[in-house]
Chains A and B, each alone.
Chain A
Amino acid sequence: DAMVIQNPRYQVTQFGKPVTLSCSQTLNHNVMYWYQQKSSQAPKLLFHYYDKDFNNEADTPDNFQSRRPNTSFCFLDIRSPGLGDAAMYLCATGGGLGEKLFFGSGTQLSVL
C-alpha cells in the first residue's frame, strides 16, 4: 500500500548525462515537494508545487528542473549532473500548505 512511490530506488548516471527521477502518489495530495539530502545534512528543499503552482527555491541550481503533469506524478530533471549532485532525492506530499509530509523511499543518485 505504498502511498508515495519513487523510482528508481538507486540511480547511477555519468557526469553530464541527463537524468530524471520520478515520484507518484496515491494520496491525492495537493502539495508535492522535492528535497535533496546529502550525507549527514538536512533535507534541502529544491521545489514544491501547490496544485499546478510551481515554487522554485532561490538557491536551487538552474541545472535542476521539475514537472508535474498531473496531481499524481512529479518529476525531477537534472540536466547535467555534476559530482556534487550525488545525494538522496526525496519526494514528499502534503495535504495542504504547512501540513505534515509523507515521504517516498527516496532515490539515491550516484554520479560517476
Chain B
Amino acid sequence: QKEVEQNSGPLSVPEGAIASLNCTYSDRVSQSFFWYRQYSGKSPELIMSIYSNGDKEDGRFTAQLNKASQYVSLLIRDSQPSDSATYLCAAPYSSASKIIFGSGTRLSIRP
C-alpha cells in the first residue's frame, strides 16, 4: 500500500458544481494533512491544512478528515474554470519526519 493514495482522475465537473477529491493514507500516527493545488509547470501551492477530525471550511473549499478511516477529502463548491489543476494530498509519514504526496487528482472544470 502506498503511503498516500489518490484517484488520478481526470475528474470532470461542470462549472458551478461541487468537486469532490479523495485521499487515503497508511500511517495511523499522521496528525496533519494538506491539500495542494498545482497548475501545469508550476510548483504546488497550499490550499488547505487540517489536523482534527471533522470539517474545515475556507471560502469555497472544505477539507474533511476521518482518522478512524484514514481518509481525507477536499470539496470545492461553485467550481470555476480556474480550479482546473492537479490536486495533491500530502501527509507526514514515519513519525512526521517527512511529508509524502499522493499522485494527485487532475480536475477539469468544464464551462
Which residues from chain A sit less than 8 Å from chain B, CB to CB? Answer: 33, 35, 41-43, 45, 48, 50, 55, 57, 88, 90, 92, 94, 97-106, 108
Contacts and interface: CB of A to CB of B under 8 A. Distances in A.
B33 to A, nearest CB: 10
Contacts of A92: 99
A45 B100 contact: yes
B98 A48 contact: yes
A104 B45 CA distance: 10
Nearest to A6: B43
**Is chain A's binding surface mostly helix, strand, loop or mixed?**
strand
Contacts of A103: 43-45
A101 B34 contact: yes
Interface string B40-51: 011111100100
B17 interface: no
